[in-house]
């Protein structure tokens, strides 16, 4: 996977996941999925900021990169890029499908009342899935969409800690 391919993958999947998540959770209450409007809104508030943050970072990159000739070089690590970018997103989407199925099935009309997954457990499960996603994708996004001309010329600022003694 190339750097530009990774950037495109993040942008496309972030937009698709945002659209599908928002669409499903808004349509769920009137379609009979066992979520109320306030519960659906709570899940949207948990899930969407992560993907909107990726899109925002990409947007910042597109409009603020001054020198596009300098490119992030991966060298021998390039084959790992696809795994780092696609893997966590595939795991996240798969986990979300399982979470939504488990919640819907355990709260179906003929399920034992009070035995289904609670909205708090649903929120916890989505938060855990986001943790899996953000552990690598967040770091990758920050590197892939960093301002390469700025990063190449300005050394990182390391705060100095005064010594006691």
Q: Tens digits of per-residue pLDDT, 97-156?
A: 999 998 998 888 887 887 888 889 989 988 988 887 887 787 778 777 775 544 433 344
Nearest to 130 by CA among 57, 55, 53, 47: 47
**Is position 137 within any domain?**
yes
Of 157 and 164, the structure prediction assigns the larger pLDDT to 164
**Is position 164 within any domain?**
no
**Is position 94 within any domain?**
yes
| Number of independent structural domains in the chain | 1
**Is position 88 within any domain?**
yes
- Range(s) of the domain holding residue 12: 3-153
**Is position 141 within any domain?**
yes
pTM for the structure as a whole: 0.67
Q: Is there a contact between 89 and 21 (Cβ–Cβ < 8 Å)?
A: no
- Give dist(CA 17, CA 26) in Å, integer: 14
**Is position 120 within any domain?**
yes
């Amino acid at each position: 996977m190339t750097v530009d391919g990774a950037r495109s993958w993040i942008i496309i999947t972030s937009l698709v996941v945002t659209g599908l998540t928002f669409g499903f959770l808004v349509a769920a209450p009137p379609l009979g999925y066992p979520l109320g409007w306030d519960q659906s809104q709570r899940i949207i508030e948990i899930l969407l900021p992560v993907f909107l943050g990726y899109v925002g970072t990409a947007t910042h990159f597109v409009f603020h990169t001054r020198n596009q000739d300098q490119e992030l070089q991966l060298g021998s690590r390039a084959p790992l890029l696809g795994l780092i970018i696609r893997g966590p997103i595939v795991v996240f989407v798969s986990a979300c499908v399982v979470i939504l199925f488990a919640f819907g099935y355990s709260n179906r009309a003929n399920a034992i009342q009070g035995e289904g997954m609670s909205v708090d457990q649903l929120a916890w499960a989505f938060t855990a899935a986001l943790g899996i996603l953000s552990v690598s994708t967040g770091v990758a996004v920050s590197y892939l969409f960093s301002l390469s001309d700025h990063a190449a010329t300005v050394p990182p600022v390391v705060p100095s800690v005064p010594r006691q003694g």
